[in-house]
Amino acid sequence: MLPSLGPMLLWTAVLLFVPCVGKTVWLYLQAWPNPVFEGDALTLRCQGLKNTPLSQVKFYRDGKFLHFSKKNQTLSMGAATVQSRGQYSCSGQVMYIPQTFTQTSETAMVQVQELFPPPVLSAIPSPEPREGSLVTLRCQTKLHPLRSALRLLFSFHKDGHTLQDRGPHPELCIPGAKEGDSGLYWCEVAPEGGQVQKQSPQLEVRVQAPVSRPVLTLHHGPADPAVGDMVQLLCEAQRGSPPILYSFYLDEKIVGNHSAPCGGTTSLLFPVKSEQDAGNYSCEAENSVSRERSEPKKLSLKGSQVLSTPASNWLVPWLPASLLGLMVIAAALLIYLRSWRKAGPLPSQIPPTAPGGEQCPLYANVHHQKGKDEGVVYSVVHRTSKRSEARSAEFTVGRKFYHLCGGEMPAAQ
């Protein structure tokens, strides 16, 4: 009876053991260090219950196969990154005498902490400083509080060139900024002795240079333009940070403007409509730093000088000579009249003696009106004595001068 009890007890033990295998967690996954930061050496270990030997070990991340090892229960993941985070698990064959079971661990969530955020590069006082000013580039980031004892190193770069190698200073100074200092800047940050390196977004620095005095050029035909012809004005500032706003003026009145986003030359083309388009033209260049005005250029039209020039402009030089000539003529006439009054009239001008001793009239004026004899008016001047002769002559000369001017003297009473 006793020998028959042995097999029965063995099978009873096996039956009791099998249900326990399905409920017992034989594998579990460990990840260290914990917590995990960027740059840390991440290690995964698939471990059996009470260090039970394992074989045919497989590792998974987010349900996807990651690695296989026949005997090694440890997997080195290298330097951890933010992309290393995920849900990990493992599976393997558990050897438990007298049977071998294939078991899978529960998932373990691996969170990789950010050691420091990507740096941000800023320009102080502005990414668009004026030429000659001091510009400070500042690279800013901050370590995680649990790793604040680490030391960060900073480097600065521009247009693919290194301006400052890794060092503890988070700032770079540019004294007396010039137009050549304009460009794309960025900085890089890495912990001392670590494998994490982060780069900032690029920052465009544009040094603003003042505009130079623009040059205005007038383009038209070989001769002065006439009404209906086309005239082109060209304005250019040799230097100055864009964008540049160009304005055109005619005698201080704006006639057009144009923006040059990239600088350079701008033009204004217009037809000549009238003589009012002639005058002094100038142009002005303006950017965010300064404003400059060109030298004026005069635009003359055909015949505009004669039409627009006052008569006094050509009379003034001849005015003194004309006045002098008039004075000479008046003086000569006055001398002649005085001498003629003293000497008497010329022999040919002495009126003949009328019968009865009366003289013929020296000057007679007859005004005739049709229809009536009473409308006939006579003006007679006689020669009587020497004194009255002078008066008569004076009266006659005055009457003749007034007559030549188109007037008419009243009849003698």
Is residue 315 a part of any domain in this protein? Answer: no
Q: Residue 394: is its pLDDT beyond 50?
A: no
Predicted local distance difference test score (pLDDT) of residue 188? 98
Is residue 366 a part of any domain in this protein? Answer: no
Closest to 383 measured CA to CA, from 356, 347, 342, 353: 353
- The rounded percent of the chain whose pLDDT value lies above 70 is 69
Contacts of 412 (CB under 8 A, 6+ apart): 379, 380, 381
Single-letter code of the amino acid located at 259: S
Domain around 184: 120-205
| Region 84-97 average pLDDT | 88
Predicted local distance difference test score (pLDDT) of residue 359? 45
Q: Are residues 258 and 288 in the same domain?
A: yes
282-306: per-residue pLDDT in tens? 999 999 999 999 999 999 988 654 3
Q: Residue 15: is its pLDDT beyond 60?
A: no
Q: Residue 347: is its pLDDT beyond 90?
A: no
Q: Residue 325: is its pLDDT beyond 90?
A: no
Report the alpha-carbon distance of residue 83 to residue 87 in Å, rounded. Answer: 12
The tally of domains found in the chain comes to 3
The structure's pTM equals 0.57
pLDDT band at 384 (very low <50, low <70, confident <90, very high): very low
End residue of a domain, out of 144, 174, 205: 205
Q: Are residues 127 and 157 in the same domain?
A: yes
End residue of a domain, out of 51, 80, 113: 113
Q: Are residues 234 and 166 in the same domain?
A: no
Q: Are residues 240 and 275 in the same domain?
A: yes
- The rounded percent of the chain whose pLDDT value lies above 90 is 54
Is residue 95 a part of any domain in this protein? Answer: yes
Q: Are residues 255 and 225 in the same domain?
A: yes
Q: Residue 22: is its pLDDT beyond 80?
A: no
Query: What's the mean per-residue pLDDT of the chain?
Result: 77
Q: Which long-range contacts (CB under 8 A, 24 or more apart) does 363-369 make?
A: 363/396, 363/399, 363/400, 365/399, 365/409, 365/411, 367/411
Contacts of 221 (CB under 8 A, 6+ apart): 229
Q: Residue 93: is its pLDDT beyond 80?
A: yes
End-to-end CA distance of the chain: 200
251-269: per-residue pLDDT in tens? 989 999 999 998 889 999 9
Radius of gyration, alpha carbons of the chain: 59
Q: Lowest mean pLDDT of 7-21, 189-203, 218-232, 235-249, name the range.
A: 7-21
Is residue 247 a part of any domain in this protein? Answer: yes
Is residue 35 a part of any domain in this protein? Answer: yes
Predicted local distance difference test score (pLDDT) of residue 194? 83
Domain of 188, CATH number, reads: 2.60.40.10
Contacts of 354 (CB under 8 A, 6+ apart): 360
- For CA atoms 260, 261, 262, 263, the dihedral sign is positive
Single-letter code of the amino acid located at 371: G
Predicted local distance difference test score (pLDDT) of residue 97? 66
| Region 225-249 average pLDDT | 93
Is residue 41 a part of any domain in this protein? Answer: yes
Closest to 199 measured CA to CA, from 160, 234, 236: 160
Is residue 379 a part of any domain in this protein? Answer: no
DSSP symbol at 82? G
| Region 142-151 average pLDDT | 95
| Region 155-163 average pLDDT | 96
End residue of a domain, out of 113, 146, 177: 113
| Region 128-155 average pLDDT | 96
Q: Residue 46: is its pLDDT beyond 60?
A: yes
Report the alpha-carbon distance of residue 284 to residue 338 in Å, rounded. Answer: 71
Report the alpha-carbon distance of residue 118 to residue 130 in Å, rounded. Answer: 29
Beta bridge partners of 366: 378
Beta bridge partners of 365: 379
Is residue 304 a part of any domain in this protein? Answer: no
H helices of 136-274, in order, are none
Q: Are residues 184 and 261 in the same domain?
A: no
Q: φ, ψ for residue 275 (rounded to 5)?
A: -65, -15
Q: Lowest mean pLDDT of 187-196, 233-242, 279-288, 383-392, name the range.
A: 383-392
Predicted local distance difference test score (pLDDT) of residue 333? 73
C-alpha count within 13 angstroms, C-beta hemisphere, residue 381 = 19
